A and B are shown apart, each in its own frame.
Chain A
Amino acid sequence: MVFNSVEFAVFFTGFFLLYWFVFNRYLKQQNLLILIGSYVFYAWWDWRFLLLLAASTAFNYYLGIHIKKAETFTRRRFLLYLGLLQALGTLLYFKYFNFFIESFTRGFSAFDLNIDVHLVNIILPLGISFYTFRTVSYIIDIYNGKTQPTTNWVIFFAYVAFFPTLISGPIDRVGLLIPQFETKRVFNYENAVDGMRQILWGFFKKMVVANNCALIANPVFDRYHDLPASTLVLGAFFYTIQIYADFSGYTDMATGFSRLLGFNITKNFNYPFFARNIADYWRRWHMSLTSWVTDYVFLPLTIRFRDYGKIGLVMAIMINLIVVGIWHGANWTFILYGVLHGLYFIPLIIKGTMNKKKKAGIASSFQSFSELKNILLTFLLVMFTNVVFRARNITEAFNYYMSLFSKTIIAKPVLATDATIVITTIVCIVVMLSIEWIHREKSYGFQIGYFKKPVLRWALYLVLITSIFCFSPAEGSQFIYFQF
């Protein structure tokens, strides 16, 4: 069940009515309904993996309690390692097993040692990376004394499986979400209306911008070897917009649905295409993952490498971004993606400007030409690196890059997609980026609650809804981040 499906519309309408009209009296009932609803939502995809989700949740629930109860440091540490072993073991098996086997086999074959190993046909459980990171942060925070374990199993199970964020995040931390599960939710009109607006904006980004970009980018990546470099640049451009509109669109929807249920979840995007440098970009892109990795990987590493000065910082950032890369999947392309982003940090570290935060457009327009230049340069770097993110393997990425650097860069681009679709997509991208630029100080792009005239607001809603109906292609309803 995906957000942009008739099934989900029916599911959520029923759920919403039950949530606020039938189970609204008691908090426990509401939480239980969230848990049941979330499990139904997950089982809709494959009920067998529900057992894995439930087992993993139950294991971490008891582990959290026992870590807190443990009387000795050694026992606490043992329980933490046990939890990490379970979480990482599950991830390693489902996500990385074949990758490691394949890589080892290839490694040995380089030395003429041929090993006959059979790969296992493993289906990746949906959302496993997201809910595993949620449970891992839970037990680490308890171990570090930053949080208390919850003794209410319904709340913990509902927190791990909370359906708006179950499949593609954001990776909400215990400190933010569990207190909200413990407090009685009261329907807030303003919050709900704003949630609806955010859902609408998410739908527009996903179904109009992302899905149309996919129609242009996919044929370019499929036939990159036959196409001039100018077309490959366009392919990378449309893919970069696609992945942003797809993932941030999903997050907008997830945030909106959560707000309709009275929850405020972690902000995951802060207009990353308006970032002034790559460090700024990573503070704005997939923020819940970045902050997770910063807390549990980067900070411990910087402490460990503190004696090595800037080299230590480079090492910590490099490892940090490789972890971010490999979190996406078992492929050398994701590792290279992390390495490339790590390399982009080096000039910033040398210049000492890595942590220099510039708020995006405090003034009504660009503060300087150099700011615009920085935004464009950052976008180009991201776009360039997304080629490796999109490629099926390193060879494909390498060939794409090689084709990019050729004389055909000045040739006329050849897009296989219908010209009407290309023009529509460009217009929609301009609309999306313009609206987001105007609202860059707001929490999401379409926060138009400040418009005083309701007629204007309603007219905009209808324009957006009509454009969704008119310009959404039938293909590409799946979200890119579902695979992670």
Chain B
Amino acid sequence: MKLFIQKILLLCLILLVILCYPLYILYKAGEFVDPDTIINRQRKEHNLFHQAYTDESGYIKLRNVRLRKPEVLVLGSSRVMGFRSFFFKNESSFYNASRGAQSTKGLNDFLDSIPDVSPKILMVSLDQFWFNERSKSSAFPMSLKRHYSLTSTFLSSFERVCFDILRGKASFNKINASNDNIGLFAIMRDEGFRYDGSFKYNKGSRQEADSLQIFKENYNSIEEDANHYEHGAVLSKEDLRELTIFLERCKKRNIHVVAFLPPYAPFIWDKLLENKSKYQYMFELQKTLPVLFAKYDHKFFDFSDITKIGGNNQEAFDGLHLSENANLRMMIEMCKQDTTLNGHCNLEHLTGLLRNADSPRNILKDGR
């Protein structure tokens, strides 16, 4: 028995030696922090979180909505992560639950998950491809449940952190020096979800828009009929039905919906226009949705072409994701046309923010 225990301990020791460095990196970077602790720490420290190997953002967003009960809520995919709390008069009354819904069904699921929360205004981004009959399967659902387990986090992270250490993507010094941000990406890239639910992109880690190289992948997808750019002629009836149910339910719960089609980078939008015959559903959508929203007395905007409100390629991170400046442009436009939303904002303040923006991708200096 003694020999057996000794050998087991020896094996554990060898393993510990092999594992300790990646384990330390994972631990120190906050990759093992469970989602509820993230919520509590963000509330106190207002830091960024962005874990590299696990994604509990759906759960964290939902939990935050339940806890904070915001008056103005943004819901949608990663394309609306740039709506910030300082767009509103009362910053604490706002929360950005972007990535909380990745499909029309996701909207209803989210609403089901917040039976006790009825925001006064729900700003909803409706990704165009949600309504493509052909691309339904490509939209991955965002889980709102808590999946965290130490074992699975460890297993999913171990191999990748080893590679990331070798590639220099996880630096000991940087991680060791950091004591506020949670998650490897948040520390290494200074990029992640803020306390208000918006996402801070790090300019340095993203390619500049000038070269148009950043749109290459999206452009290829148009050519290849793939990755959210699937060609399609027919609008998905199922998704229109889901959306109708969602609007009805919001009406019943006295939630004012301000919805919009989110913008594409102008370069990509031009390509979509060139291929108009392949994306008939998208242009059909622009005609169908205003009628549907009018029926329920909710507001609808079409920002597919951001140039119409002054946006440009400089404000894009890629074909689908635009900066907070572009989000601010949309906000200003919506405030101008919707009195309810306007009541929560100061239009002059917003235009001032846009005018004095630090860069095309950041409103405040260093993306604060």
Chain A contacts to B: CB under 8 angstroms:
4-6, 20, 187, 189, 192-193, 196, 207, 223, 226, 458, 461-462, 465-466, 469-475, 477
State whether the Cβ of B150 lies closer than 8 Å to any Cβ in chain A: yes
Cα A408 to Cα B151 with chains together (Å)? 41
B1-44 to A contact mask, C-beta < 8 Å, 1/0: 10110011001001100110000000000000000000000000
Task: List 20 additional contacts besides A458-B11, A469-B19, A470-B158; criterion CB under 8 Å.
Answer: A5-B151, A187-B1, A189-B1, A189-B4, A207-B155, A223-B137, A461-B11, A462-B14, A462-B15, A462-B18, A465-B15, A466-B18, A469-B155, A470-B159, A473-B155, A474-B54, A474-B155, A475-B152, A477-B149, A477-B151
Residue ID in chain A nearest B147 by CB atoms: A474
Q: How far is the CA of A458 from the CA of B151 in the complex (A)?
A: 24
Closest partner residue, chain B, to A24 (CB atom): B1
Task: Report the minimal beta-carbon distance from A176 to chain B, rounded to whole angstroms.
Answer: 25
Determine the distance from Cα of A474 to Cα of B152 in the docked complex, in whole angstroms: 5
A223 to B138, CA, bound (A): 11
Q: Which of B4, B15, B54 has the most CB of A within 10 A?
A: B4
Does the CB pair B155–A472 fall under 8 Å? Answer: yes
A-B contact pairs, 9 of them (CB 8 A): A5-B151, A461-B11, A462-B18, A469-B19, A470-B158, A470-B162, A473-B156, A474-B156, A475-B152
In the assembly, what is the distance between CA of A172 and CA of B101, in Å? 48
A474 and B137 form a contact (CB under 8 A): no
How far, in Å, is A12 (CB) from chain B's closest CB? 12
Interchain CA distance A4-B159 in the complex, whole Å: 17
CA distance A471 to B163 in the complex (A): 12
Main secondary structure of the interface of B (DSSP, over half): helix
Sorted from nearest, which 7 A-B pairs have the closest CB atoms?
Answer: A474-B156, A470-B159, A474-B152, A472-B155, A469-B158, A187-B1, A6-B151
Given A189-B3, A469-B155, are A6 and B150 also a contact pair (CB < 8 Å)? yes
In the complex, residue of chain B having the shortest beta-carbon distance to the beta carbon of A477: B152
Please, which residue of chain A has its CB at the minimum distance from the CB of B7? A193
Contact B159 A469 (CB under 8 A): yes
The distance from the CB of B296 to the nearest CB of chain A, in whole angstroms, is: 34
Any A CB within 8 A of the CB of B153: yes
Count of chain B residues with a beta carbon within 8 Å of a chain A beta carbon: 23
Question: How distant is A437 from chain B, measured CB to nearest CB, in Å?
Answer: 27
Instruction: Report the minimum CB–CB distance from B3 to chain A (whole Å).
Output: 6
Please give me the residue from chain B that is nearest to A191 by CB atom: B4
- B155 partner residues in chain A, CB cutoff 8 A: 207, 469, 472-474
Q: How far is the CB of A13 from chain B (nearest CB, A)?
A: 10
CB distance from A202 to the nearest CB of B (A): 16
Residue among B1, B19, B150 with the highest chain A CB neighbour number at 10 A: B1
A378 to B7 CA separation, bound complex (whole angstroms): 42
- The residues of B that contact A466 with a CB separation of less than 8 Å are 18
- Chain A neighbourhood of B159, CB < 8 A: 469-471
Q: How far is the CA of A469 from the CA of B152 in the complex (A)?
A: 11
B 116-166 contacts with A by CB, 8 A = 137, 149-156, 158-159, 162
The complex places the Cα of A475 from the Cα of B149 at a distance, in Å, of: 11
Instruction: Give the residue of A20, A226, A469, A474 whose beta carbon is less than 8 angstroms from that of B1.
Output: A20
CB neighbours of B19 from chain A (8 A): 469
**In whole angstroms, how far apart are the Cα atoms of A20 and B4 in the complex?**
12
Instruction: For B7, list chain A residues within 8 Å (CB).
Output: 193
Q: How far is the CB of A302 from chain B (nearest CB, A)?
A: 47
Least CB distance from A138 to B in Å reads 33
Cα A73 to Cα B153 in complex, Å, equals 59
Question: In this complex, what residue of A is CB-closest to B137?
Answer: A223
Are B158 and A5 touching (Cβ within 8 A)?
Answer: no
- Interchain CB contact under 8 A, B153 and A474: yes
Task: Chain A residues near B3: list those with CB within 8 A.
Answer: 189
> Closest residue to B53 on the A side, CB-wise?
A474
Shortest CB–CB separation between residue B141 and chain A, in angstroms?
12
CA distance A461 to B7 in the complex (A): 12
By a CB distance below 8 angstroms, the chain B residues around A475 are: 152
- Chain A residues, Cβ within 8 Å of B137: 223, 226
Rounded to whole Å, the gap between the CB of B234 and the closest CB of chain A is 17
Q: How far is the CA of A91 from the CA of B153 in the complex (A)?
A: 36
Residues of A contacting B14 with CB < 8 Å?
462
CB atoms of B151 and A4 under 8 A apart: yes
* Residue of B1, B18, B151, B162 with highest tally of chain A CB at under 10 A: B151
Query: A223 vs B11: C-alpha distance in the bound complex, in angstroms?
Result: 44
Residues of chain A contacted by B54 (CB below 8 angstroms): 474
CA–CA, A187 to B4, complex, Å?
Answer: 10
Bound-state CA distance A77–B19 (Å) is 61
Name the one of A5, A192, A465, A470 contacting B149, with C-beta atoms under 8 angstroms: A5
Which chain B residue lies CB-closest to A260?
Answer: B4
C-alpha gap A421/B3 in the complex (Å): 39
Closest residue of chain A to B163, judged by CB? A470
User: CB-CB < 8 A to B149: which residues of A?
Assistant: 5-6, 477
Contact for B4 among A6, A193, A461, CB less than 8 A: A193
Residue of A nearest to B160 (CB): A470
Which of chain B's residues have a CB closer than 8 A to the CB of A223? Answer: 137
Q: How far is the CB of B67 from the nearest CB of chain A, in Å? A: 27
Complex CA–CA separation, A193 to B159 (angstroms): 27
Compute how far the CA of A24 lies from the CA of B54 in the bound complex, rounded to whole angstroms.
43
Q: How far is the CA of A475 from the CA of B156 in the complex (A)?
A: 8
